Structure 1
Amino acid sequence: MSFLKEMLPRAFRMSGRCMSSLLRCVDSRWSDVILHNELKTLDEMPGPSAAGFIWDLLFRRGLTRLHQLQVEGRRQYGPMWKAKFGPILTVHVAEPELIEQVLRQEGQHPMRSDLSSWKDYRQLRGHGYGLLTAEGEEWQNVRSVLAKHMLRPKSVESYDGTLNSVVDDLIEKLKLRKRENSDGRINDISAEFYRFGLEGISSVLFESRIGCLDPVIPVETERFIQSINSMFVMTLLTMAMPAWLHRLFPKPWDTFCQSWDYLFHFAKLQIDQRLKEESERMARGEKIEGRYLTYYLSQAGMSMKSVYSNVTELLLAGVDTISSTLSWSLYELSRHPEIQNELRAEVLSALNGRIIAKASDVTAMPLMKAVIKEILRLYPVIPGNARVIPDKDIKVGGYLIPRNTLITLCHYATSHDSKQFSEPEEFIPHRWLSRSEGSHPYASIPFGVGKRSCIGRRIAELEVYLALSRILVHFTVEPAEENDRVNPMTRTLLVPEREINLRFIER
């Protein structure tokens, strides 16, 4: 009130135009005061007891069902609730309007949740931070370098030749695998697509192949794949365990560190080989095109410590996206043959007699894009993202969220919300071709939004488009068994809980 008593007499002595402007300012200041007083605190936010949450997390549902806990939490507590695990308090946000409110207040250097075990490992071994672990200006600098070559459409299109050579090998590998069974059955298709995804991102990063699709996979490459799997499995466990427990139960932490050791070792070998070849070419006076990311990173003024960390993390970033999206796409298309046939017809029409798609062909494949959007809605690779706003309190859904609070954005819950999508559990890609279904733009954001959105999105999407179009040209895909339902599970990322087995019939 003292603010009003001071300012209003001055306002009446001013001209009408100035007074009007000032009154708008007064109204804004007064509204903020009222709004702030009306905001609820975290103490008033609903949520399970600490013991109840730990019981649900570890025993009733388990860490592999974190995506389902989102849906149950929204149903039981509403669009916002809090949960405490040990010393960590998390605010869960499970409505697109509220997710938008969070993301619009995240500031110049958005922060994800603290991948504490990842950072602890890097500090232990003296490694640098990469794009997935860095924060603040360090993250911004790396992001700026990579965005030029991973987010600009024209830059990404230049990779279609490289990626198509990997697709060539994938098709041959699928033909070889289907001949192992008389009915064309390929078991555990996700494993094959995992190797394909890793080979693709490696070919982009290193301009060389690492043998993931060879008839006999090199021992080092197979160990690298196993290390990725082991690291992701151990990530949730090591983050849930306090540091002092590592001494009592050392195996999870030791396995986690050993997995990361080999990931860094493998990436360093590839980087050093790539840079040695570039140096030799420069010594011979040859022109260096510098189109590939390892070269760009090393020429961007980064220390080699930073280059090793960033490339190691980039190798991880796209592999699961590609493997998961392709696996679930063929799984759903095999169960919906009418959509598979329609998509195949679209691909053949766009190719106009060719069998190999280019990046420019995708613009003539709206159903292809819709299928991938629907797969990522049903099976978001990252079921929940997180934010920490370090420099200010924010207002979300009528609550005042103090700075440094961990906020979980429940993407799985919003993309499975019947208020946003009719028949949310059904595979209906045509919903994305129609404007009749008015879902909120933040209801399904599998790659994130804004500065912290997935930097490898365009390359991953292109690799999926090229692979899926070629698979449909060469094969009809059917379920290996009738009514063979596969559900997702959380393993840091969302993955199939068991093998996806399909029949590939050559056309």
Structure 2
Amino acid sequence: MGSPVAVRSYRFVSLRCTHSISNKKSGTSDQIETINHGKHKTIDDLPGPSLATTVYWLFVKGYADKSHAMQIEHKRLYGPIWRSQFGPFDIVNVASPELIAQVIQQEGRYPVRTELPHWKEYRDLRCQAYGLHVDKGSEWYRVRSALNPMMLNLQEVSTYAPIIHQVVGDLLQRIEGLRLLSQDHALVPDLTAELYKFGFEGISSILFETRLGCLREEIPEDTLRFIAAANTMLTLSETVLFFPRWSRRVLPFWKHFVQAWDDLYDVARHLIDRKVEQISAQVAAGKPVEGMYLTHLLSCDKLTLPEVYISITELLLGGVDTTSNTLSWTLYHLAGDSTAQDRLYREVTSVCPGRQLPTSDDLTRMPYLKAVIKETLRLYPVVSGNGRLAVENDVVVDDFWFPKKTQFHLCHYATSHDEKQFVDAERFAPERWLRGEPAGFQHHPYSSIPFGVGVRACVGKRVAELEMYFALSRLLQHYEILPEKGAQPVEPKTRTLMIPSKPINLCFLPRA
């Protein structure tokens, strides 16, 4: 299972002795000519809400957990580019695909998403490696280059299919057990929570090369600790960022944020150390060492062990919510749209009759399956917006000049809900992604980029897609999915990531 990775003993011993953290250097030696900005407008010419107005929107009008919706309102008020200020943050918001493309095309060799000073502070507090979200410049690029090959190469990712199918099989058993426990033998309550366990089990099986038991009746204590810590950290991340540092002596947010990261890191380190011991014992016994992603990272001589610790932890964090939330919204919409569900069922059964397990090659013959996931991600991008910090050169966007250190906010939610890009944009319509259909392919390529784009795109994109394709196709093979009788609509909310604002309850009826 997976691509075997042979580990030479001298390489592994060398790795174990290299626990020091590399010096953190950012930027590039490239000298980029400063733009002549005399003829351009500047950030001071941008429209936008005042600090008082922003506070009003967040805490009086109730947009504190609806920042995605606030993008649309601000775009309506101020146009596709505006300025917002909150505490120490001075941000240029960009909310059209054309302007997002302009920012991306000028981001330089080593783009920076956004400053995460609270994440960096935690890493420094615990003397940890920085990882993808904190490191910059050539150091970031070095780490990213080590993580990419077995995450983004389609041929390599396809080798994870057997382990993903094992986890999907456990999910099917879990769904069956839950529906049989319900009074009507159909309802599965809080589906997102179950899919979160599936997402965690799936990505951890690939990253740690071991099953953690997330879909069992009794979940192991460490697994529950990691899941709880992930929720706490993501919930508090924005809060900690916006409150001034002096408040940490008075308010509990920072303490809980640090404890959450401690739990995340501790669980991941324990699992990685266990793998290190296994490999060490095999090498000492003269046995060949084979494995998948973690074995590859531990044997490639490109990352120190502290860098492996933090990289695996961050990959795990990013992989769980992407899969669980997207599948939740997908099933929610399919349950309410029998036409779309029937079309998808027919496609899956025509390619894989008799509940045959789909392969990576089979997926190439399921365009509607991929369109369904694309449409869900358009409606509910995992993160409603992405950051870009101009670090290498000045930037010109829509006749505005911005100097280095300008923080851009790429408003993906507002862009992917723009009626100019997507007719009837609030409607779930997978066919808009299919060539040859009336509504298909009429949009700008940057109108919906839920995984990002370029060298800063999501490193786990291919794995997340494979998990979602396999899970969705097999769920449709086994069940017709219907909404809960009398259920009210479920809206999204923002908790760093976009999540359902309340539990999604769906009925699963076995197919003949």
On whether the aligned pair clears a TM of 0.5, the verdict is yes
Q: Is this contact kept in 1: 2:146–2:302, CA < 8 A?
A: no
Q: Alpha-carbon deviation of 1:86?
A: 1.0
User: Which structure has the bigger radius of gyration?
Assistant: 1
AA aligned to 1:232 is L
- Per the TM alignment, residue 243 of structure 1 is displaced from its structure 2 partner at its CA by 0.8
Equivalent in the alignment of 2:73: 72
Could you say if the C-alpha distance between residues 286 and 294 of structure 1 is closer, same or farther in structure 2, counting changes exceeding 3 Å? closer
Match of 1:193 in 2: 195
Residue in 1 that maps onto 2:276: 275
AA at the equivalent of 1:499:
P
Tell me which residue corresponds to 1:406: 407
Supply the distance in 2 between the matched residues of 1:297 and 1:197 (Cα, whole angstroms). Answer: 24
Per the alignment, in what secondary structure is the counterpart of residue 43 of structure 1?
helix
1:224-273 deviation digits (Å, cap 9, x = unpaired): 11110011000010011111111121x11111111110000000111011
Percent identity for Structure 1 against Structure 2: 45
Cα gap change, 1:33 to 1:125, in 2 (>3 Å): closer
Q: Structure 1: which 5+ residue stretches go unaligned?
A: 1-31
Aligned residues of 1:294 and 1:311 also touching (Cα < 8 A):
no
Shift, 1:211, TM fit = 0.8
Asked whether 1:317 is paired with 2:318, we answer: yes
Query: Which runs of 5 or more structure 2 residues have no equivalent in the other structure?
Result: 1-32
Indicate yes or no: 2:55 matched with 1:51. Answer: no
Whole-angstrom CA distance in 1 between matches of 2:323 and 2:230: 15
SS of 1:318 mapped into structure 2: helix
| Counterparts of residues 358-373 of structure 1 (less than 5 Å) | 358-373=359-374
1:459 aligns with 2:463: yes
Aligned mates of 1:273, 1:442 — CA distance in 2: 42
- Give the match for residue 223 of structure 2: 221
What does residue range 335-350 of structure 1 map to in structure 2 within 5 Å? 335-350=336-351
Q: What is the match of residue 206 of structure 1?
A: 208
Distance 1:245 1:210 in 2: 38
CA contact (8 A) 1:145 1:300 kept: no
Once the two structures are TM-superposed, the CA of residue 337 in structure 1 deviates from its matched residue by 1.0
| CA contact 2:412–2:449 (8 Å) conserved in 1 | yes
Partner of 1:21: none
Indicate yes or no: 2:505 matched with 1:494.
no
CA shift digits 1:70-121 (9 cap, x unpaired): 1011000000000101121000000100000000000000001112221111
Corresponding residue number in structure 1 for 2:451: 447
Contact map agreement 1:385 1:410 (CA 8 A) in 2: yes
- Shift of the 181–300 alpha-carbon distance from structure 1 to 2, 3 Å rule, reads same
Question: How many residues in Structure 1 have an aligned counterpart in Structure 2?
Answer: 475
Q: Secondary structure at the match of 2:485?
A: coil
Cα shift readout 1:288-310 (whole Å, capped 9, x = no counterpart) = 23422354245324221111111
CA drift of 1:33 comes to 12
Letter in 2 for 1:309: I
Separation in 2, partners of 1:332, 1:325: 11
Counterparts of 2:337 and 2:486 in 1: how far apart (Å)?
12
Amino acid at match of 1:421: F
Correspondence for 2:149: 148
Matched, 1:334 2:335: yes
How far did 1:58 drift? 3.2
Please give the alpha-carbon distance, in whole angstroms, between the structure 2 residues aligned to 1:36 and 1:131.
Answer: 33
- Aligned twin of 2:294: 293
CA contact (8 A) 1:205 1:294 kept: no
Give the structure 1 partner of residue 178 of structure 2.
Answer: 177
2:258 maps to which residue? Answer: 257
Distance verdict in 2 for CA 1:96–1:498, change over 3 Å: same
Report the AA paired with residue 500 of structure 1.
Answer: I
Tell me the residue number matched to 1:22.
Answer: none
Aligned mates of 2:102, 2:294 — CA distance in 1: 34
Greater Cα shift, 452-461 or 34-43: 34-43
| Closer, same or farther: CA 294–195 of 1 in aligned 2, 3 Å | farther
TM-score by length of 1: 0.91
* Backbone CA RMSD of aligned residues: 1.6
Deviation at residue 282 of structure 1 after TM alignment? 2.1
- 8 Å CA contact retained: 2:209, 2:292: no
Which residue is equivalent to 1:506? 510
Distance 1:33 1:91 in 2: 19
List per-residue Cα deviations over 1:338-362 (Å, max 9, x = no partner).
1111101111111133431122211
Q: Which runs of 4+ in 1 moved over 6 A?
A: 32-35
Could you say which structure has the higher helix fraction? 1
Q: Which residue matches 2:42?
A: 41
